[in-house]
Structure 1
Amino acid sequence: MLGGPSENPELWAFLQSLRCGELLSGTVTALERFGVFVALDDGPEHPVFPGVGFITIPELCWRRIEAASDVVHVGQRVSCEFLQFDTWNLEARLSLRAMRPDPFQAFADGLVVGQKLLGQVTKLVPIGVFVEVADGIEGLVPLPELAYRHGEPSDIVHVGDAITVVVTEVSRERRRLALSLRQGFS
């Protein structure tokens, strides 16, 4: 822990004054593998980190990314939603993705179970295959739905393959799309 209210009174007072959902602006000061530091316009300096604001990788954008640099760069101005006061690190946890509508929800509006979709294989994992069925929208084809015969995902499809899949489940709450390649053959 970086200290209590008595060690950093100005920082504690600022962070405690923030409310969930409040909009904050600032400048990206550092990109790390685990997230992004933001110097907030109205906030004090942080005693250790290059900014009082922090955005984790999942809170940068709605789609899956490999690195923070896929979305932001040092020196970029950002407006974010305040999520919570991290009392351990004395920072404001922020969300950049909350500033944009969730594309999954809009996509899910037009989906029905049993619907066929054309997609592209993006990743092979031990539990199945991820398929991008719209820009930034991926679903999982679990192993049992990959093929009638047993085998490794790489025996059946490869990254970059265009395949037809069938929607087997849509979970708006979990932002998950379950797909079947096997049912796409029928």
Structure 2
Amino acid sequence: MFEKTNQFINANVSTDIFNWNAYEDHQKEDHIKDFYKEVSINTINQYEILRGVITKILDKEIIVDIHFKYEGIISINEFRNKKNIKVGDTIDVMVEKIYKGQLLLSNRKAKIRRSWERAKEAYKNREIITGKVIGRTKGGMIVRILEHIEAFMPGSQIDPKPLYNFDNFYSEVYNKYMEFKILKINNEYKNIVVSHKALIEDEIEKQKKKFISELQPGQIIIAKVKNITSYGAFCDLGGIDGLVHNSDISWKRINHPSDVLKINEKVKVVILDFNEDKNRIQLGIKHLLPNPWISLDKNLKIGNKIKGKVIAITEYGAFVEIENHPGVEALLHVSEISWSNQLRLAKDFIKIDDVVEGVILTLDRKEKKMSLGVKELTKNPWLEIQEKYKKGSIHTGTIRHVTEYGVFVELEEGIDGMIHNSDLSYTNFKLGVGDIIETIVLEMDVEHQRIHLGLRI
């Protein structure tokens, strides 16, 4: 500092024209340099990342000025191409060791540390990063990201679609750059998992939202059947799927969607409803076909007789397709099949494809609902049994049902009676369904269609 100051003092100039500003600037610069030299090496932390300037390039090492009392040393082997470095270059360095007053530095480890910091930032912000496929391993590929980190991409994270030929795909992408998103970072084991599939799914999601935002109820689209389930069919609308529920496939009752639809079949669908938040689209097929209820005979009314074919049987009854009106169904409840009060199933009386005749009990054209009764075509036997089944009279019957509280006995078609357990307790008989027994009428309630029987022994 004295030499530089002396240059100004000995300069052959008068004090009038002496450059006092330049003199003060040099004093400040020298003061700063002296300050750094006075800083103790103990203030440097091991593994700290600093910025330094290359001051010398030797055969085996590079000298770096990090603005401390001592310069640092980096092995020349850390630089693959020595032609890419020169004196004056500013580089990142990490303090590896402080040994006998010398700073052993690493440029490579500093780069890796910077890359990890960048990776954490990209993971936090869900950023897209670029990487190069450099190898394969069990279950996936090795990818170099952010220049200095080797990450793992599982086979399941390559593409949303199943990858049937991994070898071919690897041959195509090896040593090439791809885009990824970081799925997981394990700081303890220094592992990073990346995904290419996540990018594709994000893009598909954006396309879905855009597609849905442009949809209108009633819009007609040509779709392709993608998947068939027990409750409906999923159709591809062009990158986004919609569901056609069973009830919206056909006006006629179907047992399974595969009865009328095939995978990859192109169908015309109409948008019924959609939910932008949940990316759900409800589709319809039958709505593009004539509604059979519209053509239903306007003269039909409650009390009319009508025929139809049994197309489905449930525990509580059967569905009948009305004759000459395909797609128009009526419910035949099990209680409307027989006058009997005995608990029985519809399948005990009728079977699929049976043609039945019934009376229209209810008819709601607006709600498209109709119910039938078959027993109404026969005379109610309960209206004429008072004389036949007087109290104390004896009758032969067949056991049709056994319960915890008694047995039900069919005395004739449509007429049942019950023997309560309390009226069987004194007997040692073991009764079963189908047994023919003699009974005695203990009590009769015509209004509620009940006959209380006893066992005659």
TM-score range, shorter chain: 0.7 to 0.9
Aligned to 1:69: 258
Superposition deviation, residue 123 in structure 1? 3.5
Q: Deviations over 1:100-127 (max 9, x none)?
A: 1211232253422111112233344333
In the aligned structure 1, how far is the partner of 2:285 from the partner of 2:355? 31
Aligned residues of 2:309 and 2:353 also touching (Cα < 8 A): yes
Distance change (3 Å), C-alpha of 1:109 and 1:154: same
Superposition deviation, residue 165 in structure 1? 0.3
Q: Deviations over 1:49-99 (max 9, x none)?
A: xxx222111111111111111111112111111012234652321101110
Aligned residues of 1:33 and 1:67 also touching (Cα < 8 A): yes
Which ranges in structure 1 are unaligned for 5 or more consecutive residues?
47-51
Aligned to 2:234: 37
Q: Deviations over 1:27-61 (max 9, x none)?
A: 11221222212122xx4x24xxxxx2221111111
**What amino acid is aligned across from residue 209 of structure 2 in structure 1?**
W
Aligned to 2:271: 82
Which ranges in structure 2 are unaligned for 5 or more consecutive residues?
1-201, 380-457
Aligned residues of 1:108 and 1:170 also touching (Cα < 8 A): no
Bigger shift: residues 147-156 or 89-98: 147-156
Distance change (3 Å), C-alpha of 1:179 and 1:79: same
Identify the structure with bigger relative contact order (alpha carbons < 8 Å, sequence gap 6+). 1
2:340 to 127, 142, 149: 149
**What amino acid is aligned across from residue 217 of structure 2 in structure 1?**
C
Higher helix share: 2
Scaled by the length of structure 2, the TM-score of the pair is 0.35
Aligned residues of 1:117 and 1:164 also touching (Cα < 8 A): yes
Aligned to 1:49: none
Distance change (3 Å), C-alpha of 1:8 and 1:122: closer
Secondary structure at the residue paired with 2:212? helix
Superposition deviation, residue 171 in structure 1? 1.1
Aligned residues of 1:36 and 1:68 also touching (Cα < 8 A): yes
Secondary structure at the residue paired with 2:209? helix
Identity %: 22
In the aligned structure 1, how far is the partner of 2:204 from the partner of 2:260? 35
Bigger radius of gyration, 1 or 2?
2
Secondary structure at the residue paired with 2:274? strand
In the aligned structure 2, how far is the partner of 1:184 from the partner of 1:30? 46
Q: Where do residues 98-177 of structure 1 align in structure 2 (5 Å cutoff)?
A: 98-107=287-296, 109-134=298-323, 135-151=326-342, 152=344, 153-177=346-370
In the aligned structure 1, how far is the partner of 2:278 from the partner of 2:231? 14
**What amino acid is aligned across from residue 337 of structure 2 in structure 1?**
L
